[in-house]
Amino acid sequence: MEPAQTLDRLFDFLRAGVTPWHAVAQAARWLEEAGYTRLEESDYWNLAPGGRYYVTRNGSSIVAWRVPEHAIGGWRMTISHSDNPGWRLKPAKSTAAGCERLPVEGYGGMIMPTWLDRPLGVAGRVLVRTEDGLDTRLVDIHRPVAVIPSLCIHFDRSCNSGHTYNAQVDMQPLYGPEGCKPIRTLVAEALGLPEEDMVDSELLLTTLQEPVRTGPDGEYYLSPRIDDLGCAAATLMGFLDADADCDSACAPVWAMLDNEEVGSSTRQGAQSSFVRDLFDRILDAIPHSGQGMARALANSFCLSADNAHATHPNFPEKSDPASPVRLGGGVVVKYNATQKYSTTAYSGAVFGEICRMAGVPVQRFANRADVPGGSTLGNLQANTVPVPTVDIGLPQLAMHSAVETAACADADAMRKAVGAFYRAHIRTLGDGRCTLEQTARTE
């Protein structure tokens, strides 16, 4: 795959993934195009050697894997997340000053003013009543239907010298004039269903800006949801690129989990048993010894892929001068003394060697000593799947803004690094010891 193709596919994923449910649906389309079969957690599983499968939970988390031709000797896994900070609609109505508003509350830690004065759409999932019971439908009203208007400077002369935003006061969206068509009706029309068939819903405000390249030669790109759909798309491309060349002794696994931005403590988040449940079921469906799971975990490795902070050119003092990270500098490996990132000397060395052999540039990141690190997936997933893990990411600016900035070259670097990871032969010889070989095909 050429770098331009990587970027085209990434942009497709960013456009489609307006909500976690839409991101999972887009990932499922890519997997099915590559020959993966959907399974349901509620069904009995018959897994064939060499079979390719995926399963979803809550419609907002997804795990895909390939069954090796022989006994599973380990798991080779990449995890990312499907959610991003934003505004979720409440099941309520609000009228003020002759206007209808869409009552919202914040999801995750966002940069609030970046949502002001921009056209906003609405998307999410709806549970509908059918002849057979309840069914889930995805909806995306991809046109301007709301706006969060700023307070004019004449009423707040201090707005350019600092303002504390109150979500209940400052950030409630204007929808239409009092008595206008309710948002519920608009959603029903978009689905082509009678309004009375809608039983419940989860709806989000969405930014309508398309992913665009910027810079004299298009070196950077701007888009909503780069954190973390940038990693999700690039790792999925790497997973599929390496599909035919994966280490034959390990089961390759790709996962995109929900609710990272609010702590991952849901049944579909990284703190849940979702991935471990799947591992147990996979081993139950194929012959293995009583010690099979323990041995497989000991010979496993995980990439926790969640975006990283590039050094900001306007605020370089916010980053540790000893570990600068630049846009376009390659995949970032993240370290933290308090273990907010799960990288260790061992896991960092293994991933660094894989990238070195594949010719993929790597950068190393640590926060300033007086700035606490953010949380991510790796250390939480380790509660149920305790395997060596390295936290990596794409460098970006404006993390948690309504529109973020990243470098085009880094997306292709991530795809190549992940593809090399799945192709590499990693053999655990003991605690902290392994052999590492590169397979024949490289890019």
Q: How does pLDDT run across 29-60, given as a tens digit for each residue? A: 999 999 999 999 999 999 998 999 999 999 99
Give the torsion sign (CA, 21, 213, 108, 174): negative
* The domain over range 86-207 is classified in CATH as 2.30.250.10: yes
Count Cα neighbours of 113 within 13 Å in the Cβ-side half-sphere.
8
Tell me how many degrees the CA angle 157-160-162 measures, rounded to the nearest 5.
100
Cβ atoms of 247 and 424 closer than 8 Å: yes
Cα(59)–Cα(2) distance, rounded to whole angstroms? 31
Cβ atoms of 301 and 349 closer than 8 Å: no
In CATH, the number for domain 3-84+224-437 is 3.40.630.10
Residue 287 predicted with pLDDT over 70:
no
* Of residues 418, 344, 340, the one with CA closest to residue 380: 340
**What is the structure's pLDDT at 435?**
87
Cα(305)–Cα(233) distance, rounded to whole angstroms? 11
Q: What kind and span of H or E run contains 130?
A: strand 120-130
3-class SS of residue 238: helix
Q: How does pLDDT run across 77-102, given as a tens digit for each residue? A: 999 999 999 999 999 889 999 999 99
Q: What are residue 104's DSSP bridge partners? A: 89
* Of residues 124, 80, 89, 56, the one with CA closest to residue 268: 56
More confident site: 73 or 327: 327
Which residues, including other chains, have CB under 8 Å from residue 121's CB and lie 6 or more apart? 18, 140, 141, 142, 143, 144, 145, 146, 205, 206, 207, 208
Q: How does pLDDT run across 177-217, given as a tens digit for each residue? A: 999 999 999 999 999 999 999 999 999 999 999 999 999 99
Cα(258)–Cα(268) distance, rounded to whole angstroms? 6
Q: How does pLDDT run across 385-426, given as a tens digit for each residue? A: 999 999 999 999 999 999 999 999 999 999 999 999 999 988
State the DSSP code for 181. Answer: P
b/e per residue 314-330 (b: at least 16 CB within 10 A): eeeeebbeebebebbbb
* Of residues 224, 342, 277, 292, the one with CA closest to residue 73: 292
Terminal-to-terminal C-alpha distance of the chain? 9
User: Percent of the chain scored above 90 by pLDDT?
Assistant: 81
Domain boundaries, the chain: 3-84+224-437, 86-207
Cβ atoms of 398 and 405 closer than 8 Å: yes
Q: How does pLDDT run across 124-138, given as a tens digit for each residue? A: 999 999 999 999 999
* Of residues 228, 225, 238, the one with CA closest to residue 64: 238
Burial of 312 (0-12, 13-18, 19+ CB in 10 A): middle
Cα(75)–Cα(396) distance, rounded to whole angstroms? 29
Q: Alpha-carbon dihedral of residues 98, 167, 165, 309, nearest 10 degrees?
A: -130
User: Percent of the chain scored above 70 by pLDDT?
Assistant: 98
Q: Strand runs (DSSP E) across 154-294, as ranges?
A: 174-177, 198-207, 212-214, 220-223, 251-257
User: What is the average pLDDT across 137-145?
Assistant: 97
Mean pLDDT of the chain: 93
Q: What is the residue-wise DSSP string for 16-74? A: H-SSHHHHHHHHHHHHHHTT-EEE-TTS---PPTT-EEEEEETTTEEEEEE--SS----
How many Å separate Cα 235 from the centre of its chain? Answer: 10
